[in-house]
Structure 1
Amino acid sequence: MKVKCVICDTVHDLNDNDPLAKKLRNRPIHTYMCDDCYERIEKRTHERWATGHFRPYRSPKSDEEW
């Protein structure tokens, strides 16, 4: 199965029996992101968390969580 990264637009081949390929095939709303882009976003997110000024877009369970 050929998939395209949503960020860098590179095309990758996935094994048809791979669980990720099955997920993308059965649920078209899910998108594919290559390992390089995923690691880059993960690294930058952790850097923002470390600053203490990063606020995730989650609904707080109580006002004390913010």
Structure 2
Amino acid sequence: MRVKCVICDTINNLDDNLPLAKKLRNRPIHTYMCETCHDRIKENTVTRIETGNFRFYRTSPQMDEEF
């Protein structure tokens, strides 16, 4: 299966039997990101977390105050 990275537009080949290939084929809303872009985003996120200026918004602030 040929896939294209959503960030850098490189085209890669995935084995048709991989779980990622099946997910991309069956659910078109899922997008593919190559390993280099994934690693670059991961490194940038880790450095932002280490600065202390990064905040996770998993829940709303109002819910955090209630609990």
* TM-score > 0.5 by shorter chain: yes
Deviations along 1:19-40, whole A, 9 cap, x unmatched? 1000000010100000000000
Q: Which letter does structure 2 place at the counterpart of 1:38?
A: H
Task: Give the drift of 1:63.
Answer: 2.6
Q: Which letter does structure 2 place at the counterpart of 1:13?
A: N
3-state SS of the aligned residue for 1:9?
Answer: coil
Structure 2 length as normaliser, TM-score? 0.87
Q: CA separation in 2, counterparts of 1:23 and 1:34?
A: 15
Among 52, 61, 64, which residue is 1:62 paired with? Answer: 64
Aligned length: 65
The equivalent residue for 1:4 is 4
Structure 1 length as normaliser, TM-score? 0.89
Gaps of 5+ in 2: none
Runs of at least 4 residues of structure 1 off by over 4 A?
none
Gaps of 5+ in 1: none
Task: Give the drift of 1:64.
Answer: 8.3
Identity %: 62
Task: Give the drift of 1:56.
Answer: 2.3
Aligned-pair Cα RMSD in Å: 1.8
